[in-house]
Structure 1
Amino acid sequence: MENTSEKYLSHLNNCIPKRANNYMLSTYSIILEAWRRGLEVTIRIVLEKSGNIEPYYSITDGKKTHNFSATRGDLVSKEAKILTKNKQSAKEYLIKNNVPTPIGKEFNETISNSKIIEYAKELDYPIVVKPLQGTGGTGVIGNIQNEEELIEALDYVRRDLKLPHILLEKYHEGLDYRIYVVNGEVIGALKRIRSHITGDGKNTIKDLINQKNKIRRKLPSLSNRPIKIDAETKNLLKRKNYDLNTVIPEGEVFYLKSKNNISAGGDSVDVTDLVSKNIKKIAVEATKSFPSLPHCGLDMIVDEASDTGVVIELNSRAHITQHLFPMEGHARDIPTSIIDYYFPNTKNQNREEVSKLYIDYDFIYNSCLSRTAQEIKLPKITESPIILKRYLLSNCQFTEQFANRIRRTAFNHKVNGYIKPLDNGNIVIVTGATKQKAEQFEKLLKNIAHKFFNNVQIVEKSRVTPIKHGFHIEADMQTINKADADMSELPLQKYSKLKEDYQKITRKLAEYEQKESIMELTKKQNKQLKKQLLKIENSTSWKITKPVRAIAKFKK
């Protein structure tokens, strides 16, 4: 079995976030390469009106800036972009420059299927149907053998996929190659094998498809690109009188698709070291046929026996995911070649230290699509050498307060890494920083931990795998806070009842005291009034006016 550690690029191992898988892997790999070289990168991820999620980014060394969309940089001219996008105009340029390409003709939406069928007879079968504009192999139906199959293909592409503007080409027998050229040199070459299964005499076709999909899910380049059972697959099954529950003989290969595109379930096999000089020459000449097309991907049909090939199409924005993680063979470092071309002054940089850190692409992706940020500018990578450390804390309890304190300390001292609670109750803290910063942080970590937890024990462990840039709390704080709340629920209920009783008694006591105060004040007032009354009764004026008061009383 092939050693996967040697098969793939070591500087990409264990450093591809979830959002950087599949479609975004091409963009992420180039951004990561630029960032690790100390270049400044600004990223936008946009949800366009078409519904497509597209990444755009700029890279600068302070003197010059280049803008990119996926793998296409701004040194690819606008004219080259337009010409290669349209399959018919691309074909015309290739023919003009004597680059071998299949003969064919375009048919727009106004032309009927019957006219297309007539032209197919002139070309002679087998033929290929492909939409004039499109990517990812959508709607491309190859090796059409007769009129009946052509009618099926036309109905599927023009009616079901709603892609009525098509190109009809002569089918060329051979192997499907994807070749990537940078600055006049073939950097990577893949052989693309049609989606297929190999019978074992035991499992059904459906079971074999499921088994293969499990393998695809493990690759960052194919994790969301399973083999799908669509109308084309059902037609191919029908031709062989098979269905999904059929058990095919051991060793028999059954093709599930007619096209070799990887996104349609095909296998990617790296053949960079096996491509002949003649095939490489055709690929390079094809790119030179267009104005300012320094790098792109080319699809070719190659007859290895006769060492000939024809260029099917060119893609100025070709994805490089399969070159980075092929199903078979070795990965090819196309991101390095692209950054070398745009920023030659950063060539031959030592990767050993910078590869200890990688970008938090999940945060970038989610922030841009949620419109939290329009664009994100990455801070420059930490100075090297970078020391990786791992600390295990026991006899402690993970809390939000402690986690935030550690993160704040890491931020203040430019330390990367994370803090995370373990299932057994322990806490793990991983860090990456320069030696000086790492030592400062370790001292502070121990002081903080002992202030929070009386009997905490801290053990340093080894760490070799890369860590994400920045410092992160890898925990679901809502769950943790809820658990803390659940544990203290009973004491809180008792405290709440006690508090309620206390407040009730306090209110009653205040009422009694208020009544007593009023009664005491009334007694004093009565006493003073009695004194004043007695004084009036004993006065001379009161005695002299006694007859007058008697007459007034009588009149009442």
Structure 2
Amino acid sequence: MKEDHSIGLPQLPNHIVTAARKTKLCAFSVALEGWRRGLTLKWYTKDSEHFQNMTVFGVNPPGRLFSLSSKKRTHYFFRTRGDKVTNEAVEIGSDKELTKIWLDKAGIPVPKGKGFAEGASEEEILDYSIGIGFPLVLKPTNGSLGNGVITNIKNENELKKSLKYVRNILGYGEVIIERYVAGKEYRVYVIEDKTIAAYNRVPANIIGDGVHTVEELITLKNEQRKKNPRLFSCLIEIDIEILEEIEKEGYSLESIPKKGDIIYLRKKTNVSSGGDPIDVTDELPNSIKEIAIKAINAIPGLYHGGVDIIVNEHLPPEEGAVVIELNPTAQIGGILYPIQGKARDIPAAIIDYYFPETKDFATKKSRVYFDLNAALEPLQNRSAIEVELPKAPIGTLYAKKFIVQGNVTRYKYHRWLKSNAVTLNLHGFIKNTVDNEIEIVVGGTEKENLNTFKDLITNNQNLAKVSKVLEESWKEYIKVGFEITEMFNMNKLKTVESAIKKLERDLKSTEKELYRVQKENKKIQDSRSWKYGMSLKKMARLVRN
């Protein structure tokens, strides 16, 4: 197994993004960058009047819609998409067939194919598909996150099966049929005429080590992914698709692949379904980057977004590269936390574009952040439809950790310290560590206020008897606000979590066993002895009648 080489941006360490999952991570990273630069940050629900004229998809729970304001202007954002991107551009980008028409008109290479309306018959789709030739790709016109995309369909039977799955089971009536293009798939993020980042999306895979089974290798790969803030919620789930893929490769879950053997578990490359994001920003040829830039500029009103490109590296770029999709509201977590390579600062590039006057305040070294869950709580419980955050501390951050010993664990003493910290514009926390000892971390932009707070620690004999104060420099991150953390028993919580995990493991085991049993039953039913036996039973029944 390869080691986990994920490298995040220095201003986005893992622990400050734990509350930001999937598309929340995209919004949080952009919002945090703007807030750290001194811009006013507000979060909204979808009911806010500010977003009535902005195209927003889905239910969108709080954490995706926000605004950033300077003294001169305000810009509104849906995840990574700002209000400079027009609704017309969003509508084109969200319709794969319409996207192809615009790109083709601009001379951008796209796969040969055609869209079919919900009312199109299976025969009509099959006739067209046979005409352009296999292998093919089937995908929903308005799908997202790779849902319903089936690649490398090799024959008519596979296509019929795929159509039934996508149109009848998943419910995507409108579909696109395209010629399958073999090659590596890349997501390229572009702002106007500049490529900001690019990463290769590799389908979910494992690498044999000659020791572990396929199932164990998947578990080990998931342990890697759990360490990555983008991938920990995109684990490789063993489902029917994966079982079929490993069977095609000649393996089972109990097989032990040879050392170095790569086994691809899915055909589609989406990170959300277990794919690996690998940074290639510096290695991707300029000719491919130019295609991505031209694709963004081909859509009126689309000033920034993601471009998905497949490149056949055995052919020249002008022949072997095709654009398969545009993403006006692109996810950027894969390049913020690639499994290999270097993280790329798309959030800073977006804020530079919308607020160029703040470039000098770019926050690569900022050590302050806000609690996303706390910020969104009034929106979650529906007590508000918008929330404005306090301004970020701007300037050099001075911070200390004090270990205070003595009779110092009274809650009233902690509340008194918090009140003084807030008055002095200091941020941080107090927590109990062991009996007769507390830990205090405080930070702010005024060094004198930090010294004043230090003197106050020993200055209230009515609430605490301090015997000793140890002082250390604090170079870690500080959450704005001031918290008091009391000790509590985690045993019950751990028991519940363990029970849930066991139920999940049992469910997966049952699903795998069901798949095996179904396969065995099908083999039996297809066998001659089964058919002969069934014929005898039918004959006997007729004789009795």
Q: TM-score, normalised by structure 1?
A: 0.81
Aligned pair count reads 476
1:512 is aligned to none
1:439 is aligned to 451
User: In 1, Cα distance between the equivalents of 2:197 and 2:177?
Assistant: 29
Highest Rg: 1 or 2?
A: 1
What is the aligned-residue identity percentage?
36
- Structure 1 3/456 Cα, relative in aligned 2: closer, same or farther at 3 Å? farther
Q: CA deviation at 1:401?
A: 1.9
Contact 2:85 2:304 in 1 (8 A): yes
Contact 1:46 1:368 in 2 (8 A): no
**Following superposition of structure 1 onto structure 2, how do residues 55-70 of structure 1 map, counting pairs within 5 Å?**
55-70=64-79
User: In 2, Cα distance between the equivalents of 1:150 and 1:424?
Assistant: 68
1:103 aligns with 2:103: no
Match of 1:405 among 406, 411, 416: 416
1:28 is aligned to 28
Which deviates further from its counterpart, 54-63 or 153-162? 153-162
Match of 2:390 among 351, 373, 379: 379
Contact 2:33 2:362 in 1 (8 A): no
User: Which secondary structure state, in structure 1, belongs to the residue aligned with residue 11 of structure 2?
Assistant: helix
1:361 is aligned to 372
**Following superposition of structure 1 onto structure 2, how do residues 63-462 of structure 1 map, counting pairs within 5 Å?**
63-308=72-317, 309-349=321-361, 351=363, 355-423=366-434, 425-433=436-444, 434-448=446-460, 450-462=461-473
- Structure 1 370/46 Cα, relative in aligned 2: closer, same or farther at 3 Å? farther
User: In 1, Cα distance between the equivalents of 2:349 and 2:327?
Assistant: 17
User: In 2, Cα distance between the equivalents of 1:173 and 1:17?
Assistant: 36
Contact 1:129 1:141 in 2 (8 A): yes
User: In 2, Cα distance between the equivalents of 1:399 and 1:477?
Assistant: 15
Contact 1:45 1:365 in 2 (8 A): no
**Following superposition of structure 1 onto structure 2, how do residues 462-481 of structure 1 map, counting pairs within 5 Å?**
462-475=473-486
Contact 2:5 2:341 in 1 (8 A): no
User: Which secondary structure state, in structure 1, belongs to the residue aligned with residue 465 of structure 2?
Assistant: coil
User: Which secondary structure state, in structure 1, belongs to the residue aligned with residue 211 of structure 2?
Assistant: coil
User: In 1, Cα distance between the equivalents of 2:105 and 2:137?
Assistant: 22
Q: CA deviation at 1:397?
A: 4.6
Contact 2:413 2:464 in 1 (8 A): no
Which deviates further from its counterpart, 197-206 or 7-16? 7-16
Q: CA deviation at 1:2?
A: 8.7
User: Which secondary structure state, in structure 1, belongs to the residue aligned with residue 100 of structure 2?
Assistant: helix
- Structure 1 406/477 Cα, relative in aligned 2: closer, same or farther at 3 Å? farther
Q: Deviations over 1:179-238 (max 9, x none)?
A: 000121110000011111112222221111111111111111111110112232222234
Contact 2:185 2:308 in 1 (8 A): yes
User: In 1, Cα distance between the equivalents of 2:462 and 2:488?
Assistant: 21
User: Which secondary structure state, in structure 1, belongs to the residue aligned with residue 104 of structure 2?
Assistant: helix
Q: Deviations over 1:420-467 (max 9, x none)?
A: 11145521110111212212222222213x442324321112211111
Contact 1:276 1:307 in 2 (8 A): no
User: In 2, Cα distance between the equivalents of 1:231 and 1:4?
Assistant: 29
User: In 1, Cα distance between the equivalents of 2:249 and 2:393?
Assistant: 60
Contact 1:46 1:369 in 2 (8 A): no
2:513 is aligned to none
Contact 1:364 1:376 in 2 (8 A): yes
User: In 2, Cα distance between the equivalents of 1:163 and 1:304?
Assistant: 32
User: In 2, Cα distance between the equivalents of 1:241 and 1:114?
Assistant: 34
Structure 2: give runs of 5+ residues left out of the alignment.
Answer: 48-55, 491-545
User: Which has the larger share of helix?
Assistant: 1
Q: CA deviation at 1:378?
A: 1.4
**What is the identity, as a one-letter code, of the residue corresponding to 1:377?**
E
User: Which secondary structure state, in structure 2, belongs to the residue aligned with residue 313 of structure 1?
Assistant: strand
Contact 2:204 2:276 in 1 (8 A): yes
Q: Deviations over 1:245-290 (max 9, x none)?
A: 2222322211111111111101110000011111011101101111
User: In 2, Cα distance between the equivalents of 1:66 and 1:325?
Assistant: 26
Q: CA deviation at 1:478?
A: 9.7
Contact 1:131 1:139 in 2 (8 A): yes
User: Which secondary structure state, in structure 2, belongs to the residue aligned with residue 340 of structure 1?
Assistant: helix
Q: CA deviation at 1:10?
A: 1.4
Q: CA deviation at 1:365?
A: 2.9
User: Which secondary structure state, in structure 2, belongs to the residue aligned with residue 106 of structure 1?
Assistant: strand
**What is the identity, as a one-letter code, of the residue corresponding to 1:95?**
D
User: Which secondary structure state, in structure 1, belongs to the residue aligned with residue 38 of structure 2?
Assistant: coil
Structure 1: give runs of 5+ residues left out of the alignment.
Answer: 480-556
Q: Deviations over 1:497-517 (max 9, x none)?
A: xxxxxxxxxxxxxxxxxxxxx
Q: Deviations over 1:357-408 (max 9, x none)?
A: 1111121233321224322111211242210110111223523322222221
Q: CA deviation at 1:52?
A: 4.2
Contact 1:179 1:190 in 2 (8 A): yes
2:43 is aligned to 43
User: In 1, Cα distance between the equivalents of 2:222 and 2:452?
Assistant: 48
- Structure 1 113/200 Cα, relative in aligned 2: closer, same or farther at 3 Å? farther
Contact 1:179 1:188 in 2 (8 A): yes
- Structure 1 444/425 Cα, relative in aligned 2: closer, same or farther at 3 Å? closer
User: In 1, Cα distance between the equivalents of 2:475 and 2:45?
Assistant: 31
